[in-house]
Amino acid sequence: MTNPPYVIGHQQPDTDTICSAVAYARLKQAQGADAIAARAGDPNPETQFVLDRWNVEPPVYLDDASGERLILVDHNEHGQAVDGSREAEVIEVIDHHRIGDIRTGEPILFINRPVGSTATVITDLYDDADVEIPRDVAGLLLSGLLSDTLVLRSPTTTETDRVVAERLAELARVDYEEYGKALLERKGALGEREPSEIVLGDFKEFEFGSAHVGIGQVETVTPETVLDQQTEIIEAMEAIRTERGYTDLLLLVTDILEEGSTLLIRGEHSDSIAEALSTRVTDHVGPLPGVVSRKKQVVPNLSSAFD
Amino acid sequence: MTNPPYVIGHQQPDTDTICSAVAYARLKQAQGADAIAARAGDPNPETQFVLDRWNVEPPVYLDDASGERLILVDHNEHGQAVDGSREAEVIEVIDHHRIGDIRTGEPILFINRPVGSTATVITDLYDDADVEIPRDVAGLLLSGLLSDTLVLRSPTTTETDRVVAERLAELARVDYEEYGKALLERKGALGEREPSEIVLGDFKEFEFGSAHVGIGQVETVTPETVLDQQTEIIEAMEAIRTERGYTDLLLLVTDILEEGSTLLIRGEHSDSIAEALSTRVTDHVGPLPGVVSRKKQVVPNLSSAFD
């Protein structure tokens, strides 16, 4: 007998990653298949708020996936996956990002849609399978969708996301604008976090040719609470960069209300990265007006620039 | 204004690849999008029979895709794609194979399902989009499905394929067993083909670690017409292998009625490949009873063996 597969999202999990893992494992279970919702790190304060609100247990923590079977949700790159993913068997992928470096020996289910959240894709899979979405699962899926799209305001938002959000809000019996506002406030609750926690709270790694780039993002309604500490944060970034061997380390401090970001950057390719993002960097800081999406407004430009 | 994208299948196109390209381009057009059905090589006799039967023009021939936008159907590996695919932008993938080496900078639609044919996946996409399937398109999709699954007899066949085949047969107004038999006879019509044409007629390349392996397959109701020429074919294989720089070259001569194959092999790793396929090779020839699917019964074993 083989172990049941783990449904698991990316490292430094966010709300969409955790909620998608739980919701997709529940779908598998409803279809009579065995599957365990898992996580590669601790839920952030926003996600913990969501789990408490819908009275759902957090997924089990998986520290090493070697030898296991994995269903990846909300990512499809080994660099972002749970430790040991290269020694695991990937048996499914459900995602909404760029296409990464997952390779398999056998045909598998791999669904990636250019929509605002993995939760949107999973809602569609419930419908395909003709499985009713329970209220708590609707609440989780709505949370993933609203969190990833900044309550439908991010440029990654599609018409599909809007339709799905309305439907999930009805099933969850909440007003999505009001509920979304409560989520965003949690996102902004950076309180007394250490500089390194701010950099690594929502953090992803990317390979662009020979460049190995880490990109953190802070989404907040009060960017000044972060930027007031920029000297300490930039020092912390350089320490993290050296320790982990990144060629470059970026932090996007995103103002959710103004819909723009400030870039903090350390590393070897600051000039070419600044050029790729059409900004000018002075003392490791540059403005990124209009930029709120790492996935859609930063990664593709770096990908082209390093090509 | 950008050029419309090409919908294109793999090199050495087979019926599923050609029919999927046409059917998916037609779906795009029905949805008001611009898309051109294309091919990376000449239709084989079976495919030509299908195009004639449904009175459909072959897709346009694309010899170099550099700088173009591509929608890949029925493959997701650059090694199998039209020349220049690495210098093209892949904007969608619709497939049913193992996950290969396509990487993108931006999120794209990527749907890979472990079913018997790409035609099966595309039928599902017509339904998702709520677009009616015209009779000629149903005929093409049915042809792709029956060809790839050896009329639902291959081990790659799923319950979904059976349901979809019945529905497409109804829309195309044919008896699928009878129509399938006519297709298989065309598959077997190898006539007076040269040894190198037999090797390369349905041919795919794979990277397994540092091994670069070419695998051809002949599916026929009269394997003896091929095996009678095995000395000449094995010589042709060695010439092709050296010229193209493969570490190993395999040809599966598949008996559709008996549901088994004979393996012809030349190259550097014959012993380990024979072991991976649980056969014994003598004078470059070994039996593969029960093996009819390159994708499901050969590639995964080689992938594990070379890991």
The sign of the CA dihedral A116, A119, A125, A126 is negative
pLDDT at B191 over 60: no
Instruction: Classify the C-alpha dihedral B220-B226-B227-B233 as positive or negative.
Output: negative
Predicted confidence at residue A118, as pLDDT, reads 98
Out of A70-74, B169-173, B204-208, least confident range: B204-208
Tally of CB atoms within 10 A around B228: 11
Q: Are the beta carbons of B104 and A107 separated by less than 8 Å?
A: no
Distances (CA, A) of A102 to A77, A78, A89, A91: 6, 7, 10, 11
pLDDT of B209 reads 87
pLDDT of residue B247: 96
Query: Is B111 an interface residue toward A (CB < 8 Å)?
Result: yes
Query: Percentage of chain B surpassing pLDDT 70?
Result: 98
Helices (runs of H) and strands (runs of E) counted in chain B: 11, 11
Instruction: Indicate if the pLDDT at residue A222 is higher than 90.
Output: no
What is the bridge-based pairing of β-strands B248-255 and B260-267?
Answer: antiparallel
Q: A87, A94, A104: best mutation site toward chain B, by most B Cβ within 10 Å?
A: A104
pLDDT at A307 over 80: no
**pLDDT (0 to 100) of residue B155:** 85
Average pLDDT over residues B81-88: 96
Chain B residues with CB under 8 Å of A120 CB are none
The mean predicted confidence, pLDDT, of chain A is 93
Q: Where are the domains of chain A?
A: 6-186, 195-306
Cβ–Cβ gap B102/A98 under 8 Å: no
Average pLDDT of span B234-240: 94
* Lowest mean pLDDT across A67-81, A139-153, B189-203: B189-203
User: What CATH number has the domain spanning B195-306?
Assistant: 3.10.310.20
**Residues of chain B neighbouring A104 (CB-CB closer than 8 A):** 98-99
- Interface test with chain A among B93, B106, B149, B298, by most A beta carbons within 10 Å: B106
Mutation for B interface: A75, A78, A99, most B CBs within 10 A? A99
Q: Identify the architecture of domain A6-186 in CATH.
A: Alpha-Beta Complex (3.90)
User: In A, which residues are within 8 Å of B99 by CB distance?
Assistant: 90, 93, 102-104, 108, 110
User: Residues for chain A: how many in total?
Assistant: 307
Residue B125, chain A, CB below 8 Å: the answer is no
Nearest to A107 among B102, B110, B114 (CB): B114
Mean pLDDT of B100-126: 96
What is the pLDDT at residue A243? 92
Within its chain, how far is the Cα of B49 from the centroid?
A: 17
Which pLDDT value is given to residue B224?
A: 86
pLDDT band at B154 (very low <50, low <70, confident <90, very high): confident
Q: Cβ contacts (< 8 Å) between A105 and chain B: which residues?
A: 98, 299-300, 303-304
Q: 3-class DSSP state for residue A132?
A: coil
B209 touches chain A (CB under 8 A): no
Provide the pLDDT for residue A224: 86
ipTM field: 0.82
Question: Does B162 contact A at CB distance below 8 Å?
Answer: no
Whole-number pLDDT of residue A257? 78
Best A91, A93, A102, A103 member to test B by mutation, with max B CBs in 10 Å, is: A103
Mean of the per-residue pLDDT values for chain B?
93
Residue B186, pLDDT > 60, answer yes
Chain B: residue nearest A102 by CA?
Answer: B99
Question: For the segment A92-103, what is each residue's pLDDT rounded down to a tens digit?
Answer: 999 999 999 999
CB B98 within 8 Å of CB B81: no
Q: Do A114 and B101 touch (CB under 8 A)?
A: no
The DSSP string of B126-153 is: HHHTT----HHHHHHHHHHHHHHTTTTT
Say whether residue B108 is in contact with chain A using an 8 A CB cutoff. yes
Confidence label for B214 from pLDDT (cuts 50, 70 and 90): very high
What count of other Cβ atoms lies within 10 Å of the Cβ of residue A65? 22
How buried is residue A285: exposed, middle or buried, by Cβ count under 10 Å (0-12/13-18/19+)? middle
Cβ distance B96 to A107 less than 8 Å, yes or no, reads yes
List all residues 6 or more positions away from B15 whose beta carbon is below 8 Å from its beta carbon: B44, B46, B47, B50, B143, B144, B147, B148, B183
Q: What is the mean pLDDT of residues B52-77?
A: 97
Q: Looking at per-residue confidence, does B286 or A3 come out higher?
A: B286
